[in-house]
Amino acid sequence: MTKFEFEHSVEGPASVEAVWALWSDVDRWVEWDESLESVTLDGPFAEGSSGTMAIKGQGPIEFVLTSVEAGVGFVDETSVPGALLRFTHRVEKLAGGVRVTHAVSIEGPRAEFLGPVVTADLPDAVEALVKLAS
């Protein structure tokens, strides 16, 4: 099976609590991820909850939270024709702030095509998230 993987980390003076607050309030994802028009979640920010992301120029896609560990990170998955996209988000406390890491794993026949498209603005989004949380 074809697979694509990408990971990016940003360190900054934010707190774990501030990063978690931005992650767990999906309405605010548009504040740090410019590719999003809106995000909704049907239920609490917890494993098993699902929602919809409206991506600029692409329309809405559904996602499900497959793992949530408060103050540590979460994983969300999206299925599209020809690929399963898994987004892993982690925050680590450092002496002077935090390290935030977003990773993307894509499996399926369209993985190599979708990978660069999906991850093109990921470094900017992680940078904006850490800056907003600081």
Residue-wise pLDDT tens digits, 94-115 = 999 999 999 999 999 999 999 9
What average pLDDT does the chain have?
96
Domains of the chain: 3-35+68-133 (3.30.530.20)
Nearest CA-CA partner of 129 in 53, 7, 15:
15
Q: Which residues of the chain have pLDDT under 70?
A: 1
Q: In angstroms, rounded to a whole number, what is the distance separating the alpha carbons of residues 13 and 71?
A: 16
Pairing of strands 73-80, 83-94: antiparallel
Q: Are 54 and 38 in contact (CB under 8 A)?
A: yes
The pTM (predicted TM-score) of the whole model is: 0.95
CB atoms inside a 10 Å sphere around CB 96: 8
Tokens matching residue 127 = 């940078």
Q: Are 55 and 87 in contact (CB under 8 A)?
A: no
- Predicted confidence at residue 59, as pLDDT, reads 81
